[in-house]
Chains A and B, each alone.
Chain A
Amino acid sequence: MAGLALPSWDPETALLIGVILLEAIVLYVGYGGLERLLGPRLMKLLVGGDEHAR
């Protein structure tokens, strides 16, 4: 693997990178949904309401 190399097609490695890409997108969407769903309740729990936090 030493020396400059041009990337060759390797389905298993492509799948490996695809899994990371998919996880990133799922986490972005999933945590975004959770933030909208649980964010106000969490703020209420931490500071007693979110009306002054913004």
Chain B
Amino acid sequence: MNMLGSILGTSPELLALFVVFGLVVGVLFGFFGMGGSFLVTPALLMLDYPATVAVGSGMAFVFGTAVIATLKHHDLGQVDYKLGVIMITGTTIGIEAGRASVYYLESLGLAGGVISVAYVVLLGGVGAMVTRDALRGDGGGIDHESADKALSEYEIPAIARTIQQTVRIPPMVTLRGDIRVSAWVITAVAFTTGLLSGFLGVGGGFIRMPAMIYAIGVPVPVAVGTDLFEIVFSGGLGSYLYGQGGGVDLGIVVPLLFGSALGARIGSAATAVVNADGIKIYFGGMLLIGAIAVGVGEIGSYIGNPALELLGLVLVIGAAVVVALAILYTTISSLRMTRREGAAAAD
């Protein structure tokens, strides 16, 4: 394996594309706190990378992103290390089962198709859910204002309370926020989301975070921080396993991470300025377009039409670029308005 050669072996145009795409994905991840990896694996599949390389490199990218985000959440005291360590076992087994499924499907020649269909269902389902919530005004993703509340102020969702009271299989563990829950509930949540991660090369945060909040009863900021901490280990192991099979391409991961680390800072800073509710509908729309794009690309690949494959790629990258630009435009407009109002008040 020649690592430098792997990076240098990627054409300058492709390196630039990955840096820009990473920047866009980073802005979305920093702003919404999820969805960073949704678009990477489908885009790589559409660029005709083998399924194992698309999923493996997507997972390695998730690992790098999680390292950066965990360092930040550690500084904010939003990581429950006990919960994270318990989850690592379940997630690791889930990821390995998901990874084995990808290699099995690839041996049958079905991996690319099945993964693309799974993405269409996943992006479509989550996109429809986020769009519906945004239209109702319930939001979706991270509630930015809630991050400022004390952990004791969080109300445990009714469903989590019911699970805590009914599933009392020992060993029981006490988590931050004085939550007492069976270790088996935590392991079940971890395994299911790990399976998804290993199969699709995603972090799984968009499933794991709600699962931690609604099934375990963890306060929102702790769910976000712990999810990221957990992805560092599970994503690291998943990347290692894919890397052993030649599935991690540094020519993809290094430029993607270079762009996304900067984008995540911009997206995260934008959360302090912009009300996310107005933009969440675009996020939902982007996921829906992503689902259509993967479908179009897959049909193009199936019938051997390169124009349809290109259309799918343009749609998936275009949708992400439009939402990232909407975030940047709204942020700068809000800052300028605040400044004008401040100047007017001073006068």
Contact = CB atoms under 8 A, between A and B. Distances in A.
B103 A1 contact: yes
Interface residues of A, number: 34
Interface in A33-52: 35, 43, 46-49, 51-52
Contacts of B338: 52-53
A44 B52 CA distance: 45
A24 B26 CA distance: 13
Interface of B is mostly: helix
B67 interface: yes
A24 B241 contact: no
Contacts of A21: 63-64, 67, 236
A16 to B, nearest CB: 5
Contact of B96 (A5, A24, A49, A54): A5
B96 A4 contact: yes
Contacts of B60: 17, 20
A7 B254 CA distance: 23
Given A2-B104, A52-B342, A53-B335, A17 B243 contact: yes
Nearest to B241: A7
B214 interface: no
B222 to A, nearest CB: 21
Interface in B227-270: 236-237, 239-241, 243-245, 248, 250, 253-254, 257-258, 261-262, 265
B68 A13 contact: no
Contact of A28 (B1, B52, B261, B343): B261
Interface in A1-19: 1-5, 7-8, 10, 12-17, 19
B258 A46 contact: no
Contact of A49 (B248, B265, B339): B339
B332 to A, nearest CB: 6
A5 B343 CA distance: 64
B110 interface: no
21 contacts: A2-B107, A3-B104, A4-B100, A13-B243, A14-B240, A16-B3, A16-B243, A20-B257, A23-B258, A24-B65, A24-B67, A27-B257, A27-B258, A27-B262, A28-B67, A31-B261, A43-B335, A52-B339, A53-B338, A53-B339, A54-B272
Interface of A: 1-5, 7-8, 10, 12-17, 19-21, 23-25, 27-28, 31-32, 35, 43, 46-49, 51-54
Rank and list the top 8 A-B pairs by shortest CB-CB distance, nearest first: A27-B261, A24-B67, A52-B342, A13-B243, A2-B103, A2-B104, A1-B103, A24-B64
Given A47-B335, A52-B342, 20 more contacts: A3-B104, A4-B96, A7-B237, A7-B244, A10-B240, A13-B1, A13-B243, A13-B244, A17-B60, A17-B239, A17-B240, A20-B64, A24-B261, A27-B258, A31-B261, A31-B265, A47-B339, A49-B339, A53-B338, A54-B272
